Structure 1
Amino acid sequence: MTGEQAAARPVAPDSAGWLPGARVVVSPHQDERPDPAGVDLLVVHHISLPAGQFHGDAIERLFTGTLDPAAHPDFVAIAGLRVSAHFLIRRRGELLQFVDTRRRAWHAGVSRLGDRERCNDFSIGVELEGDGEHPFTALQYRRLASLTRLLCRRHPLRWLAGHSDIAPGRKTDPGPFFDWPRLLSALEDTGLSRPF
Structure 2
Amino acid sequence: MNTLNIQSCPSPHYNERPAEALIDLLVIHNISLPPEQFGDDYIHQFFQGNLDCSIHPYFDTIKELQVSSHYLIDRTGKIFQFVDCRKRAWHAGVSSWQGRENCNDFSIGIELEGSDAIPYTKEQYQSLVILTKQLQHEFPAITNQNIVGHCDIAPGRKTDPGEAFDWEYFHSLLTAGKL
**Shared fold per TM-score greater than 0.5:** yes
The whole-number CA distance in structure 1 between the counterparts of 2:86 and 2:20 is 5
Equivalent in 175, 183, 187 of residue 170 of structure 2? 183
TM superposition shift of 1:19: 3.4
Residue 2 (structure 2) aligns with:
19
5+ residue gaps, structure 1: 1-17, 191-196
Question: Contact 1:65 / 1:80 at 8 angstroms: preserved in 2?
Answer: no
Instruction: Identify the match of residue 163 of structure 1 among 150, 157, 160.
Output: 150
Contact 1:49 1:58 in 2 (8 A): yes
So what's the TM-score if we normalise by structure 1? 0.85
DSSP 3-state at the match of 2:63: coil
Structure 2 gaps, min length 5: none
Code of the residue aligned with 1:110 in structure 2: it is: V
Q: Does the Cα contact within 8 Å between 2:38 and 2:75 map onto a contact in 1?
A: yes
Distance 2:39 2:128 in 1: 18
Q: Structure 2: how far apart are the matches of 1:144 and 1:93?
A: 8
* Residue 80 (structure 2) pairs with residue 93 (structure 1): no
Aligned partner letter, 2:153:
I
The 5-angstrom pairing of residues 59-138 of structure 1 reads 59-138=43-122
Q: 1:114 to 1:178 in 2, by over 3 A?
A: same
Structure 2: distance between partners of 1:56 and 1:99:
20
Aligned amino acid, residue 162 of structure 1 = G
Match of 2:129 in 1: 145
Q: Deviations over 1:58-78 (max 9, x none)?
A: 100110110111010000011
What's 2:40 paired with?
56
Report the equivalent of 1:11: none
The amino acid across from 1:143 in the alignment is S
Give the aligned length. 173
- Kept in 2, the 8 Å contact 1:47–1:130? The answer is yes
Residues 88 and 96 in structure 1, CA contact (< 8 A), matched pair in contact too? yes
Query: Could you give the per-residue CA deviations for residues 45-90 of structure 1, whole angstroms, max 9, x where no partner exists?
Result: 0000011100111100110110111010000011221100000000
Per the normalisation by structure 2, the TM-score is: 0.93
Q: Report deviation, 1:37.
A: 5.9
RMSD across aligned positions (CA): 1.4
- Greater RCO (Cα-Cα under 8 Å, separation 6 or more): 2
Question: 1:29 aligns to what?
Answer: 13
Give the distance between the partners of 2:159 and 2:172, measured in 1 at CA.
Answer: 23
Contact 2:21 2:105 in 1 (8 A): no
